[in-house]
């Protein structure tokens, strides 16, 4: 049974028990009467601006934020009944990823979320290219929740938790004492999970720590060259230096709190293994994206050689590649970014599918409170969820962008799961307008995207 109707029927059943308890003497005739009343009462929680079955998408507009913490296009999908849904294109991606899909969703019923997603998912791709598809999917869930007057987590089947554990992005320092103190302050703020950057840039200026072939213009080596093809390796001296750095961090934050590590640099597989082994004594929670996620066999080689959990996934689109990694036992934890993994329902499916292989799900997130709440609803409804990233706990106006939820949104390292319909937030227009990207409009007309004459057939 669809969760929305389950919710309505729960209310109906409760009402029926209450009324039958008071009127049991009415007998069978009375029962028939109350059955009719129950039928009328079943949609009592539905938004009465109009029937959800009559909802139609009439518009899609954009307002692009700057500095929350990155460039974040917020999308709004409007309907013929005056209710709207909010979504967000992943940080750093263009609003055009969503606008190109406008002509394909106009006139559709936004409550048919899965149907619309299957129609437009062909326009996504691994990494930022999926931002438009996922932003629209978020907004559809927000709309459907408002139409049926229930929170998104309820439509996903209910929640496993009332609060969502977070870790916070923390500004790096090459001085481990400074960085250790910053991370300790996170713990003092109430965070129960920490993450640090641990890149080979820490070895800059330290002779004999890094093997790095000199690059020459035109040699094909760039920041986009995959790890296995750069020729960069860490020397034994470099491994020792990085281990000493982590030792100081652990001394500051303690040994009893999960501490993850990320941003190692484009180093070779053997360096990943040797570094991982050197870090085992610090009991890290995970090593993130040591090599590109597409290299399933090489990830598995690293995983089998070290005794620290391995994690990847923030650039993967759709469930199939997550399942491939889980089934191969190539990593211990997968880390979708809901704003590019396929949206709320697809990420919920990812969690359920990888759970069958004993793989946990952390969630990557960097953006505004709109996308944050989409993550919160999904995390609440997914059993094997571990922890959610947040890049904006030090941005003073970040939480002011929205209304309708508890403030501060991240409170002592946790976010309270909202009970309001849809995503549970509305925009604070005044604050939003103060942080718009220059030379852009606040949900201005986008009529030029209303028509597209392309053929979207997937097969002949």
Q: Look at residue 453 in the predicted model and tell me its pLDDT.
A: 78
- Asked whether residue 229 falls in the same domain as residue 377, the answer is yes
- Asked whether residue 234 falls in the same domain as residue 381, the answer is yes
Polymer length of the chain: 460
Residue 196 neighbours by CB under 8 Å, 6+ apart: 170, 172, 179, 183, 246, 249, 259, 260, 261, 262
- Asked whether residue 293 falls in the same domain as residue 359, the answer is yes
With respect to residue 456, please indicate whether it lies within any of the assigned structural domains: no
- Asked whether residue 323 falls in the same domain as residue 414, the answer is yes
Q: Look at residue 155 in the predicted model and tell me its pLDDT.
A: 98
Q: Look at residue 215 in the predicted model and tell me its pLDDT.
A: 79
With respect to residue 38, please indicate whether it lies within any of the assigned structural domains: no
C-beta separation of 425 from 417 below 8 A:
no
**The domain containing residue 7 runs over which residues?**
3-33
In 3D space, the residue among 327, 391, 389 whose CA is nearest the CA of residue 358 turns out to be 327
With respect to residue 92, please indicate whether it lies within any of the assigned structural domains: yes
With respect to residue 344, please indicate whether it lies within any of the assigned structural domains: yes
- Asked whether residue 113 falls in the same domain as residue 172, the answer is no
- Asked whether residue 321 falls in the same domain as residue 287, the answer is yes
Q: Look at residue 430 in the predicted model and tell me its pLDDT.
A: 98
Exposed, middle or buried by CB within 10 Å (0-12, 13-18, 19+), for 402? buried
Q: Look at residue 29 in the predicted model and tell me its pLDDT.
A: 36
In 3D space, the residue among 100, 133, 131, 129 whose CA is nearest the CA of residue 116 turns out to be 133
What are the tokens at 362?
């952390």
Rounded distance between C-alpha atoms, residue 418 and residue 425, angstroms: 9
Give 191's DSSP letter.
-
Write down the pTM of the prediction. Answer: 0.88
Q: Residues of the chain whose pLDDT is less than 50?
A: 1-44
Give the ranges where 66-105 is alpha helix by DSSP (H): 96-99, 102-105
What are the tokens at 171?
């500004």
With respect to residue 435, please indicate whether it lies within any of the assigned structural domains: no
Give CA separation, 102 vs 126, 300, 370, in Å: 21, 41, 20
C-beta separation of 423 from 377 below 8 A:
yes
Q: Look at residue 19 in the predicted model and tell me its pLDDT.
A: 36
With respect to residue 455, please indicate whether it lies within any of the assigned structural domains: no
- Asked whether residue 115 falls in the same domain as residue 236, the answer is no
Count other C-beta atoms under 10 Å from residue 27's C-beta.
9
With respect to residue 40, please indicate whether it lies within any of the assigned structural domains: no
Could you report the per-residue pLDDT of 167-217, keeping only the tens digit for each? 998 999 999 999 999 999 999 999 999 999 999 999 999 999 999 888 778
- Asked whether residue 198 falls in the same domain as residue 108, the answer is no
- Asked whether residue 191 falls in the same domain as residue 312, the answer is yes
Residue 381 neighbours by CB under 8 Å, 6+ apart: 153, 156, 157, 158, 159, 160, 348
Exposed, middle or buried by CB within 10 Å (0-12, 13-18, 19+), for 40? exposed
Number of independent structural domains in the chain: 3
Please give the backbone phi and psi of residue 423, each rounded to the nearest 5 degrees, phi first. -75, -20
- Asked whether residue 171 falls in the same domain as residue 71, the answer is no
- Asked whether residue 184 falls in the same domain as residue 106, the answer is no
Residue 397 neighbours by CB under 8 Å, 6+ apart: 431, 434, 435
Rounded distance between C-alpha atoms, residue 138 and residue 117, angstroms: 10
Please give the backbone phi and psi of residue 75, each rounded to the nearest 5 degrees, phi first. -110, 150
Q: Look at residue 323 in the predicted model and tell me its pLDDT.
A: 98
With respect to residue 338, please indicate whether it lies within any of the assigned structural domains: yes
Distance of CA 406 to the CA centre of its chain: 20
CA-atom Rg of the chain in angstroms: 25
In 3D space, the residue among 4, 358, 14, 41 whose CA is nearest the CA of residue 158 turns out to be 4
Q: Look at residue 86 in the predicted model and tell me its pLDDT.
A: 98
Rounded distance between C-alpha atoms, residue 107 and residue 104, angstroms: 9
Three-state secondary-structure class, residue 312:
strand
Q: Look at residue 223 in the predicted model and tell me its pLDDT.
A: 84
Give the ranges where 112-225 is alpha helix by DSSP (H): 113-120, 131-148, 152-155, 176-188
Q: Look at residue 15 in the predicted model and tell me its pLDDT.
A: 37
- Asked whether residue 234 falls in the same domain as residue 215, the answer is yes
- Domain CATH code at residue 139: 3.30.390.10
Give 204's DSSP letter.
T
Could you report the per-residue pLDDT of 110-145, keeping only the tens digit for each? 999 999 999 999 999 998 889 999 999 999 999 999
Distance of CA 212 to the CA centre of its chain: 35
The owner of tokens 């309820």 is 154
Rounded distance between C-alpha atoms, residue 283 and residue 304, angstroms: 16
């Amino acid at each position: 049974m669809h969760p929305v109707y389950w919710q309505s029927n729960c209310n109906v059943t409760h009402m029926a028990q209450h009324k039958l308890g008071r009127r049991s003497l009415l007998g069978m005739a009375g029962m028939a009467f109350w059955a009719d009343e129950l039928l009328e009462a079943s949609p009592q929680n539905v938004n009465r601006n109009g029937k959800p079955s009559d909802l139609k998408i009439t518009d899609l507009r954009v307002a692009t934020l700057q500095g929350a913490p990155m460039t974040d296009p917020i999308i709004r999908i409007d309907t013929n009944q005056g209710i709207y849904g909010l979504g967000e294109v992943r940080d750093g991606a263009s609003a055009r990823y969503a606008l190109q899909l406008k002509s394909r969703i106009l006139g559709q019923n936004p409550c048919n979320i899965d149907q619309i997603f299957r129609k437009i998912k062909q326009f996504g791709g691994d990494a930022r290219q999926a931002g438009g598809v996922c932003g629209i999917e978020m907004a559809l869930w927000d709309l459907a929740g408002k139409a049926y007057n229930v929170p998104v987590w309820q439509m996903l089947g209910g929640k496993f938790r009332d609060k969502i554990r977070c870790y916070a992005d923390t500004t790096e320092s090459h001085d481990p004492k400074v960085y250790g103190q910053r991370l300790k302050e996170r713990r003092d703020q109430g965070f129960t999970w920490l993450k640090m950057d641990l890149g080979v840039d820490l070895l800059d200026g330290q002779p004999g720590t890094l093997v790095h072939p000199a690059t020459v213009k035109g040699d094909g080596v760039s920041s986009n060259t995959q790890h296995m093809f750069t020729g960069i390796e860490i020397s034994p001296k470099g491994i020792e230096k990085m281990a000493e750095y982590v030792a100081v961090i652990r001394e500051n934050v303690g040994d009893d709190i999960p501490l993850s590590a990320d941003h190692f640099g484009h180093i070779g597989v053997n360096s990943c293994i040797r570094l991982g082994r050197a870090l085992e004594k610090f009991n890290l929670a995970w090593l993130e994206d040591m090599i590109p996620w597409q290299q399933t066999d090489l990830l598995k080689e690293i995983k089998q050689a070290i005794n620290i959990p391995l994690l990847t996934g923030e650039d993967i689109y759709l469930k199939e590649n997550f399942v491939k990694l889980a089934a191969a036992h190539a990593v211990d934890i997968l880390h979708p970014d809901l704003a590019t993994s396929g949206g709320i329902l697809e990420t919920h499916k990812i969690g359920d599918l990888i759970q069958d292989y004993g793989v946990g799900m952390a969630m990557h997130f960097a953006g505004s409170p709109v996308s944050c709440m989409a993550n919160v609803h999904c995390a609440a409804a997914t059993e094997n969820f571990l922890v959610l990233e947040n890049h904006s706990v030090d941005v003073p106006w970040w939480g002011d962008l929205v209304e309708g939820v508890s403030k501060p949104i991240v409170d002592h390292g946790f976010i309270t799961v909202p009970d309001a319909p849809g995503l549970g937030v509305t925009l604070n227009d005044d604050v939003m307008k103060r942080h718009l990207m220059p030379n852009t409009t606040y949900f201005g007309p986008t009529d030029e995207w209303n028509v597209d004459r392309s053929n979207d057939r997937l097969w002949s």
